[in-house]
Amino acid sequence: MSTIEAVVRGRRRRALRRRGMLTLLAALIVAVFLVSLSVGRTYYPLADVFDVILGRIVPGASFTVGELRLPRAVLAGLTGFCFGLGGVTFQTMLRNPLASPDIIGISAGAGTAAVFAIVVLGLSETGVSTFAIVAALVVAVLVYTLSFRDGVAGTRLVLIGIGCASMLNSATSYLLSQAGQWDLQQATRWLAGSLNNATWAQVVPVAVAMLVLTPVLLASARGLTLLELGDDAAAALGVRLERTRFLVIVAAVGLIAFATAATGPIAFVAFLAGPIAARLFGAGGTLLLPAGLVGALLVLLADFVGQFAFGTRYPVGVITGVLGAPYLIYLIVRSNRVGGSL
């Protein structure tokens, strides 16, 4: 076998593996989605669930499935996809697995703004969401600007982001200490990352953001992948560095901001989705779509586990936080052992 034939066969095997894993992830998402619609305090067979999805009237199920479970499951899938896609974008662009919105302050900025809107301004849900979206964008611009010096180094951005997140979390703690009982409950529930009381009004903005911004990231996939080789190599291969960075940052932060505004900062989904996708798909090809699907599956599974696996129902952010914190510790310890800067 010649070298060219070996390379071609290797590429075919990787393409087949990639398609197979994408199909498997999609199938798992559909399966968990349908189970979450069917199972609850009242069980409804899948035939009733499909009837409700198709718009038919089913006594009992039309309300329970159509108005309570369906928007919750759809919002879980959409926000998980947005978190996963946005997180892996930052990790790829900055060549650092710690460069996710959870770590570099974007989620913390949205959280502080939302708590301020609840506790100080007493805004409605729409106002809180708007504040969270604007704050996430402002913090992203601030962190990027402060870390820019002849380009953006991933380590420098992560450290500045961690510092900003620490200050913002302190501000959030102060605001919570001044909150009244009702505002405190509302703000704490939002900060935990929850899909409780999900409505179609929350689904629509996230769906629109995903439909608009996902194609921007997918169209930038080649340039984003080449950025992993370093700025000089990417520029030599024809990547317009600052234009590509601007597009992917705006799109990724937009996805994270709209998802966070809808559900609160669901912990570690953006952080975990990329590494899990990398393990599943291996080298070769962009991780954008795989990480989005992994994120959707993580949120759907975590929400289902939080509702039914324990005697008490837990917000989805509590479950993902339990999953993500050990991995963060492992990643930092491993980096230190191999002599990394983080």
For 182-204, what is each residue's pLDDT tens digit? 888 888 888 888 898 888 989 99
Q: Between residues 153 and 62, which one has the greater pLDDT?
A: 62
Measured between alpha carbons, how far is 210 from 201 in angstroms, rounded to an integer?
Answer: 15
Q: pTM of the prediction?
A: 0.89
Instruction: Look at residue 232 and give its three-state secondary structure.
Output: helix
Contacts for 342 with CB less than 8 Å, ≥ 6 apart: 96, 98, 155, 158, 159, 332, 335
Q: If pLDDT is split at 50, 70 and 90, which confidence band does 98 have?
A: confident
**What's the pLDDT tens digit per position in 255-311?**
998 999 889 888 889 888 988 888 888 766 788 999 999 999 999 999 999 988 887
Distance of alpha carbon 85 from the chain centroid: 6
Q: What pLDDT, on a 0 to 100 scale, did the predictor assign at position 2? A: 66
Residue 4 reports pLDDT greater than 60: yes
**Average pLDDT value for the chain:** 84
DSSP letter for 99, please.
Answer: -
**What's the pLDDT tens digit per position in 132-177?**
888 988 988 888 888 777 666 667 778 888 888 889 989 999 998 8
Instruction: Look at residue 314 and give its three-state secondary structure.
Output: coil
Residue 252 reports pLDDT greater than 70: yes
Measured between alpha carbons, how far is 139 from 159 in angstroms, rounded to an integer?
Answer: 14
Residue 17 reports pLDDT greater than 90: no
Instruction: Look at residue 95 and give its three-state secondary structure.
Output: coil
Residue 15 reports pLDDT greater than 90: no
Residue 341 reports pLDDT greater than 60: no
Q: Phi/psi at 152 (nearest 5 deg)?
A: -115, 120
pLDDT winner (highest mean) among 75-84, 123-132, 306-315:
75-84
Q: What pLDDT, on a 0 to 100 scale, did the predictor assign at position 336? A: 55
Q: How many alpha carbons fall within 13 Å on the CB side of residue 249? A: 22
Q: Between residues 131 and 299, which one has the greater pLDDT?
A: 299
Residues 266, 110: contact at Cβ < 8 Å? no
Q: If pLDDT is split at 50, 70 and 90, which confidence band does 8 have?
A: low
The token pair that represents 143 in the structure block? 């962190």
CA distance readout (Å), 340 to 101, 276, 333, 336: 21, 21, 10, 5
Residue 33 reports pLDDT greater than 90: yes
- Token pair 């620490």 in the structure block, residue: 166
| Averaged pLDDT, 51-71 | 88
Measured between alpha carbons, how far is 327 from 336 in angstroms, rounded to an integer?
Answer: 14
Q: What pLDDT, on a 0 to 100 scale, did the predictor assign at position 28? A: 95
Q: If pLDDT is split at 50, 70 and 90, which confidence band does 332 have?
A: low
In CATH terms, the fold of domain 16-337 is ABC transporter involved in vitamin B12 uptake, BtuC (1.10.3470)
